[in-house]
Structure 1
């Protein structure tokens, strides 16, 4: 396997702590030093099917944003299907899986100056089939950056727990990035987290502020999660949802709640609200919405559906009652999508300003091609 191309492995203390956000922004930061950066997610757990291949959705995101000029199947060599673990436990084939990852890495690294490797959770994820993040980092001969969620005590405790498994595999952790910190606490967290990590022999590489926009779902994400049917095609689906309301009040009170960025959950038989909303829009009233989700399996009649087709924002029809649908949206894990351009630009800037990329490169022992690049600000 290629052991000369510089590489780094992005792990986390838990799922959804910010690995993909970090990888997305770090890719842009690395390109300031290395002209050709490759990407691989050796083991993926959430995938989509493309050309009959199961490809991790984070790989699709990275390729869509950065046009990586590498087959998707090489950047996502192993997709953990629902019966993957059972089949492995029945007939372990670790050598074949390791060889598959290493061959994929060689193809990803071909003619590249650097490779960014993204893990799939904490150090132990995948241990059941002998491919934990710690084991995969060892297989790829990669040093590790751990991403943890905001705070002081809890992230240091969790990083220490993860470090034990990386140490067991002989994998070096070059530092920690702490994510989702309240902006007003950045300096405080940076100071004390740096002290606490130093006691564990670890460097603090950056502290990222919590930005609510990154956790707000788009209408497209919600439609996909609910398997909802659009009732008025051609409306903008990339609008971000800032707030939810349930249309279980009087028409007068409901209309006051319709504001830009609001997603309204409305029983499908509340035709009074829909007709009043349409009339208010026609009259030029200062109201709006990110969209409407009709629930309770009551479909409006044909006359009302014609009115819905004229509304300027998406109206979706979803199965389930108001509570079930609202709970699904509330509990939704928001992942950055290729068409979330505002979020992607924000993430690039976030990493560029708050992560010490030169420190990362020094820890990796690499010699950037663009040594004159302006270094990123430290946390």
Structure 2
């Protein structure tokens, strides 16, 4: 049974990058498919992509590729970006060489879609894409669509942002999902923030708690970001790292601290054999060694036995930690375990029936 308007369009937008749009899309589309509704997906602006040697799309956006594969969408249910945001494209627009009417191009691109619902993933923030007239609000106006907004929880002052967004988007704002809520803020979000927003006319479809697995990164991503040399167990780079620990203390203090952490990456000097051994005896997913000092053979042998990759980096400890911290803040929803966790969180914390009432 379809919804009353079989070509309804919903813009999934966010207030800032890495807010969790893909996770919400993943949960929504799967739930809709369970209800025998057909779904299409479009991402008008490509930001991270790979050039293909063959296939229907000469260039495919990474988020688009991921959602197509995860949701088993057919080619007829997917639209490639109308532009890919690189320096050349931006320069042409700024110089006046590019006068393409991108909103019309997007509209034409979607007009032949006949699915029940089309989801359009907006750029990284509400304002990004404005230079091409493809910000979230402009896309919604062009397509006569509603906006589902995803916003991460930082503190109670997110209500300020949402009230401003409401004034800006008006009736286009369908509702919000508040994501990544820390455990100690869940009651505040439920008892204070949600009722306040609903009184102000902002529907809250979901209060999604933060999850350590969704914030994790695999060792392969750390190797890439750190330009690291893998000294052993290159076959175990899919291990997921949930926390970061710096090994710079005495071994007794370090061991006590290591035992309190789960699935960690330990950054320490290549000459600190004592700390390296202590880390390997606890919940360590990888050792990251600084200082251009090769680890001793006993460390390499123990890491081989325990299947723990050891990375060697050229950066100092502070820079290494900054790069890893940035990796945690900019994680993407790609690994199967993350997909599974995201689906579970969606099922438990998203008010699907309320969402469907807005569509109907």
TM-aligned CA distance change 1:352 to 1:200, over 3 Å: same
1:9 Cα deviation from its structure 2 partner:
0.9
Partner residue, 1:347: 342
**Which of 53, 56, 62 is 2:61 aligned to?**
56
Partner residue, 2:353: 358
- TM-score of the aligned structures, taking structure 1 as reference length: 0.79
Partner residue, 1:11: 13
Partner residue, 1:377: none
The count of residues paired between Structure 1 and Structure 2 equals 349
- Distance across 2 between alignment mates of 1:14 and 1:160: 16
- Distance across 2 between alignment mates of 1:39 and 1:73: 5
Cα offsets for 1:221-258 (capped at 9, x unmatched): 22222232322244322322233233334566666666
Partner residue, 2:28: 26
- Distance across 2 between alignment mates of 1:151 and 1:316: 33
Gapped runs of 5+ residues in structure 2?
none
Superposed counterparts of 1:246-325, under 5 Å: 246-249=246-249, 261-270=263-272, 286-299=281-294, 312-325=307-320
Q: Any conservation in 2 of the 1:147–1:176 contact (CA below 8 Å)? A: yes
CA RMSD of aligned residues (A): 3.3
Partner residue, 2:202: 202
- Distance across 2 between alignment mates of 1:115 and 1:6: 6
TM-aligned CA distance change 1:151 to 1:49, over 3 Å: closer
- TM-score of the aligned structures, taking structure 2 as reference length: 0.82
Deviates more, 1:91-100 or 1:142-151: 91-100
- Distance across 2 between alignment mates of 1:60 and 1:37: 16
1:122 match: secondary structure: coil
1:12 Cα deviation from its structure 2 partner:
1.7
2:318 match: secondary structure: helix
- Distance across 2 between alignment mates of 1:288 and 1:346: 21
- Distance across 2 between alignment mates of 1:41 and 1:141: 16
**Which of 156, 159, 162 is 1:159 aligned to?**
162
- Distance across 2 between alignment mates of 1:307 and 1:27: 45
Matched, 1:338 2:346: no
Partner residue, 2:124: 121
1:215 match: secondary structure: coil
- Distance across 2 between alignment mates of 1:103 and 1:78: 14
Partner residue, 2:142: 139
Q: Any conservation in 2 of the 1:10–1:117 contact (CA below 8 Å)? A: yes
2:189 match: secondary structure: helix
Cα offsets for 1:323-364 (capped at 9, x unmatched): 10011112322423432x222111112112221222222212
1:149 Cα deviation from its structure 2 partner:
2.6
